[in-house]
Every structure is written in structure tokens, then in C-alpha cells.
Structure 1
Amino acid sequence: MTRRSIIKGMAAAPAVGIAANALAPATAHAATITPGRFRLAGRASNGYGTFAALNAGLAGKLTKVSASAVIADTNRKAKRLTSAPSTAKAFQTGFAWDDADQKVKYWIPQGVSTSADAYSSGYYNGEKVVLVSWYFEGNTDDDAALEYPLDKGMRLTFVDYNSAAAPTYRHVLLVEPSKTGSGAYSFKPMRKHAGGIMWYGDLLYVTDTYKGLRVFDLRTLFKVSATQANVCGLHTDGTYQGYGYDYVLPQSYAYDNAGTVLRYSAIGLDRATNPDSLVVSEYSKSGTVSYTDGDFNGTNTGRTTTPKLVRWPLDQTDRRPSSLTATEAVTVKQKKIQGAVSRKNRHYLSVSGGPEAKGALRTFTSTGSTATTVTNLAVGCEDLSFHSKDASGWAYSESVIWNVSEYDKTRYVYAVRADGS
């Protein structure tokens, strides 16, 4: 789902015959639209300078580490799932967070990606890894008052999944490199929704609801001091702090929306196309997408408020979009789309039913007219990540789709079989 403030302001095979979720109508119509209206614009800098120069400046002050080093330094224990969580069906594997992360109200999990997205082998530098993004929510009970007024932005969790029986993990703060008023190198929290993530090579793509995509290079993490839980960046005592976390991951690039306005709610990787491609999906609470609740990049020319999936091709060498103009755009009359992944012209959606109702994994084709339910997902279902059975290393006997659920006390990261069996 979107941040509470936003809400206030406004596979592999065809589906099998499983009853649809009550909030996922049995018929959800799809139609192709002109993709050329959707464009991205690359951006290598922010208001403080180029990302490269800012991160180089931080490297002169801090210890630079790799993602592999963070994965080797996990400090929390997850709990293996031995059966399907909540209302989910077609269960393959998964885990639950430790008690503290199950109960915390102000950090909410949203996005999921795995090392099977990063590389077709399923491994990242020989490791099986799951990544999950979280956003900070200061208003945890939807009244007018903020229970937690210091917005700490977004964090990313590295899960060491080499042992599915005993996964471990560590949280890392996502930050934007900056400078202080005196010109010293620093960084600040990224106060975004982190609704969807995609891991591709060494790059992590994070959706920015109103603006486009933020890019992070997993080869450029920094070790910081963890003594100040409420300080981010260069502290008055000369230390660099990350709200109590030991590591920060700074932004390295951006792709801003430059065409027709688009809501960047979630992102998914498609390895079945040639070349690989990414798809962006839109969330809508009622089936009509809102473009009035924030400062959107883009133009209203050719705008349609029907939820969309939009595709861009990827360069498999530098891991960036090979074209800044979309190559496919599909509308689908489906409300509450929380995540999407595609396999060529077949698209999979996670559709939520709120805090009390089961979620649904739904599918449709670009040329088809309806979406149907594949299987049930957990209550509070969010982002999706496709894990092909064709991965040369970490693979399952059939393709699976990973999902993450968001509500406190019932938070799970799990994979369901993509054909719903």
C-alpha cells in the first residue's frame, strides 16, 4: 500500500482454477496503449553535486564496504516458515522476522527482490540473498498526530538465505549523499515510500512514487558510527551516523519520469524477454489512479487514470535501461495492485485486501481481456519477485514468485509456486 499520508490524500503458466479474492474481481480488463508516451530521463546529480563526486567524498571519510561484506556481517535471526503463512497457498519457502521486527509499527516492509534477480544463476557472489525494503511511518494509528515525528526514511534488509532453515539478516539505511552548509560531505535520509525494489547486477532500483526510479550501487556501502539513534549524516562530534545502523547505502543515480505522468508504485524484473526488461506498476485504491496527491514528474498529455504496467528494456552489460522510452504499456482495470512481475506478455499482480482480508496473486496477458486469480497470498501482500526454475544455481523444481507482507505481527517473506499448484 502507499504511505498512510498518501492514502489520506486521496511464471510460468496460466492461472489455475482457484477462487478469486473478494477484492480481486473475477474480471479485470486489460488493454495495450501507446508505450512511447512513457519516458525516463537519466540524472547523475542532485542539488549538492554529482552522485559520483559526493560518494567519492564520503569514501575519503568513511570505510567503504561491499554488499558481500554486509551479508557476511548479519546480526539478526529470522524464523524459518515450514508452512504457508497467513492465507497464502501454493507455498514453497520463506521466513518471518525476529520478534522486534514483527512488532515494530513505524518500520513497514514493502519491496522484495532476490539474488535470482541480480544474476540468472540465482547467486550474488556465490550467496543466496533476499533483499527487502522498508519505509518509516510516523503516524501509526491514522489520527492527526505523529507518534514518531522523526521520519527516518527508508531502510534495506540483506537476508543471508544460504540456509533456508536458519536465515539471518541485517538492516542498512538508504541515504542520499549531500553536503553540510559548510561544504563538508554528508548524507541525509531518503523519505520515500520504497514500495518496490529490483536488484539487477550490482544495482538496486527503488521506486519513487511521484518522481521515477532511484538507483543504488551495492559496491558502495559505508560503515558508520551507530551511537546516535536519532542522527543521520555528519554529526556535530565529527562522526557519521545512520540512525543507529552500522551501514548506509547512498544513492548513485536516478531515472526521473519525463513523459506522461506515471505512478511508480512497484517494479519487477523480466528475464524472459530479450534483452531483459523491467516493468513498473501503478497502485490505485479504487481502480482509478490518483495524480493529485503529490508533486509528480511528467506531463498530463495522453494521461489515463486506469492502472498500468509499463516496460523498459535493460542493457545486460551495464545493468541500466537500454532505452529511455518504454516499449510496452498495458492498462488493467484492477484496484489495489501492490506489485507486478512479467514473463514476456504474461503479467502477475499482487492484489491486497486490507488488514483483514487475504491477498491474491493474479495474472493476465498483454493481449488478453481479463485477469484471473492464480492463488491466495498472505494478508497485507506487497511487492513481487519472480524466481525462475531455470536459474543455473539457486533454483526450485518449478518457478516461484516471492512476496512480502506488511502488517505488524504478521510479516512474512515467502515464495509461492508461480502456477498456483
Structure 2
Amino acid sequence: MKPVELPAEAFRLKASASSTLIDELDAALPRAGVSAVVGDGNRQATPCEPEAANLLAAFCWQDGDNAVEYWIPQGITTTADSTAEASYDGVRAIVVSWYYDQDQGGTERGIRLSFVDYPTPGAATTYRHVLLVEPQNDEDGHPSFGPVDLHAGGIAWYGDYIYVADTWEGLRVFDVRHIWRTSTDDDTAIGYKPEDGSYQAFGYKYVLPQVFRYTQSTSGGQAPIRFSCVALDRTSTPDSVIVGEYANVPDGQTARARVFRFPLDENSHTLAASADGYVHATEAYDTATESIQGAAAIDGKFFLSISAGANGNGHVGTFTRGGELALHTGDLPIGPEDWSYWAANDQLWNLAEYAGKRSVFAIRASAY
């Protein structure tokens, strides 16, 4: 099966203005750098060996995070995405996004990121969860923030920004230069608490704010993108963001499961807009492949992680422009998700989502 090339220019994103509340909240809350957050890990990962072909490295979450039903891991990125040197603020880390299932957990908590201190395989692996928030004024006009209610199916860290997939809208952008430390004495509250002037975050010690967003549109009758997964490609010129779509269709029908590339500006670390103000895709393909959970690209080759549901091992799919899609059946654990490529280590990082079966693992990219 050969992915069908689509008119890439028809798929576009447009940036919003930056939040006007960031400076006010910077003045109201103490800031913490990435190194402080990574060094303040309060949870301990465990060693594990997930069932993956060409496995290079792996760890599992501590018991509570492995089993919890209402927080579900989805996206992955690393400091090797953030900078060419593979470190940020003096640390090397892996970051995983989780979304909150309100049906299981009650009051909406939004999404969180786990900052994992992972310098070398075999070293002690600690991590801390950071809540993502959207700045807003409270009902009295006081600078505050609330939870970000997204699926967060994919994330990519570039420079100071972490890009988060917003399924039907586009991308949300969070700035790691503005990690705020909050009060932790009220795990039922979020944002400014007028009773005592504190800022709360459901008991989370740190929050990371959204600073702006990209909203999608299309032309020429093309269907809107479903932003299911996101990965950074530092092997392209210029650097770029890869976006993939998840599709699940009845038997006998064809999935619309497309993969896109959007260019980045290597100086501003934002998406590269054209003269018309839009960021246009530079590549677009319809893979007709069901259950894509991750999409990445390395030196012109696209990598797909494909789920087989809660009971079957996942698959790796690969293709190049104009070529056939090759399927490597069963090479991934049950429930694979997003990709992130750590070039210096030849590692393609991924993670498994299902409670009780969760791992974070890297496979050898060059094996494909």
C-alpha cells in the first residue's frame, strides 16, 4: 500500500496573540527553572522490560501511576527535541503528557506533564508531575488560571516551547521559561484563591502556562486535520513538526489517516509562517492506516506507531515519499502512543497507555 500524496499547502495553521496575563502572573508567583523541577522529583520509576523489538532502554511508572484509571499517558518528548545539544537548563529529561478522564475521576483536572530525570539507562529515575494551565481572569478580574481540557495525544519540545496536540483545533503552546510554583494546601482548588491570596493547582507544586495557540483551517475542500500525535523532526531542513491522525473505521471502509509536516523557524522556535500569515504544511499524505497513535520522521522516512487495541501488540509502520508502507507487525508493546527521536542515542521513544501495562521505552531507529 502506497500513501497518497495530498496538496500540502491546503493545510494551514495560524498563531493567536500571546497571553497578556503571563507578565502579571510572573509577578505574582515564584518561577522555577526546568532543572529545578527535574531535580525535585518526588516519584520513583521502576525498571522493566516491555515486549518491544530492538529495545534499547525502558522504565515503568511507580505503582500508583501505572494503575491509575483517571490519568492516561499519551504524548512524549525529550530534551533532545528541545535543543541540538540534547539538554535544556543543564539537564537531560523525558517528558510525558497525561490527560484526565473526568468520567473516572470526577472534577476536571485537565492535562499534566511528567518531567523525568533520565540521564543514563540504569540510573535512578525520578520524576514529578506538572499541571498545564491556561491563564485567565477570575470572575473578579484577578489574574488567575484554569485547567486545560485536552486529550494531549502528542507533544513536542522545541527551544523554550512545548507544543501540545489540540485534537480538533490545532496546537497549544506552553513556555517552560514560566513554570510557576504554587501552594499545595488545597487539592480541590485551581487558580487564584481570594480567601487567602494563594494560587492553587489541585495540589500540584508546579504549573506550566499556555502562552498562545495555533488554530487550523483548510482550503480547497480538504477535511480538517485531527491532531492525534505530534513529533519534532530535527533531521529536516528546516526543522519541522510532524502531525498524525488517528482513525478507527468499520470493516470494509477506508481510514482517512493522514500525516503532515509543518516547518519551524529555527530562531524563534515557532512555526514558520508564510507571507499570508499562515503556516502551511510542506508535506501531506493519506496513509489509509487504521489506529495510528504516533507519527515521526527521520531523514525523510516516516515512522508510524499503530495500536492493535488493549490486547494485541502494536506495530511499526514506515514509508518514504512515493514509496510503499512497510508494516513491522507486533514490534511494539500493547497500547503504543506518541514518538520522540533522540538522534545521538539512535533511540525512538514511545510509551504504552493502558493501566497496569504502562511503560516508557526506546527502540533502535536504525533497525527500520
**TM-score calculated relative to the size of structure 1:** 0.81
Q: Which of these residues, 324, 329, 337, is aligned with residue 284 of structure 2?
A: 329
1:70 partner SS? helix
What do the CA deviations read for 1:143-189 (whole angstroms, capped 9, x no partner)? xxxx4221111000100112432111000000100001111000000
Q: How many residues align?
A: 356
Regions of 4+ moved over 4 Å: none
2:22 is matched with 55
1:116 partner SS? helix
What do the CA deviations read for 1:227-265 (whole angstroms, capped 9, x no partner)? 112211112422111111000101011111022411111
Runs of 5+ unmatched residues, structure 1? 1-27, 45-49, 140-146, 289-303, 389-394
User: 1:281 touches 1:340 (CA, 8 Å); kept in 2?
Assistant: yes
Matched, 1:148 2:105: yes
2:318 partner SS? strand
2:276 is matched with none
**Between the two proteins, what is the percent identity of the paired residues?**
40
1:263 is matched with 226
The letter for the 1-side match of 2:261 is R
1:29 is matched with 2
Matched, 1:339 2:294: yes
Q: Which of these residues, 52, 60, 66, is aligned with residue 88 of structure 1?
A: 52
Offset, 1:340: 0.6
**TM-score calculated relative to the size of structure 2:** 0.93
Matched, 1:320 2:270: yes
Offset, 1:374: 7.2
User: 2:255 touches 2:290 (CA, 8 Å); kept in 1?
Assistant: no
1:378 partner SS? strand
Matched, 1:102 2:49: no
User: 1:287 touches 1:333 (CA, 8 Å); kept in 2?
Assistant: no
The letter for the 2-side match of 1:266 is C
In the TM superposition, 1:277-356 aligns within 5 A as 277-286=240-249, 306-323=256-273, 324-356=279-311
Cα 1:233/1:168, change in 2 over 3 Å: same
1:80 partner SS? coil
Measure, in 2, the Cα distance between the counterparts of 1:151 and 1:239.
20
Q: Which of these residues, 140, 162, 176, is aligned with residue 134 of structure 2?
A: 176
Offset, 1:305: 6.5
Offset, 1:287: 7.9
2:336 is matched with 381
Q: Which of these residues, 28, 32, 40, is aligned with residue 13 of structure 2?
A: 40
1:400 is matched with 347
User: Which has the higher relative contact order, 1 or 2, with Cα contacts under 8 A spaced 6 or more apart?
Assistant: 1
The letter for the 1-side match of 2:114 is T
Measure, in 2, the Cα distance between the counterparts of 1:204 and 1:217.
6
Matched, 1:204 2:128: no
Q: Which structure shows the bigger proportion of residues in strand conformation?
A: 2
User: 1:31 touches 1:369 (CA, 8 Å); kept in 2?
Assistant: no
How big is the alpha-carbon RMSD for the aligned residues of Structure 1 and Structure 2? 1.8
1:228 is matched with 186
Matched, 1:419 2:347: no
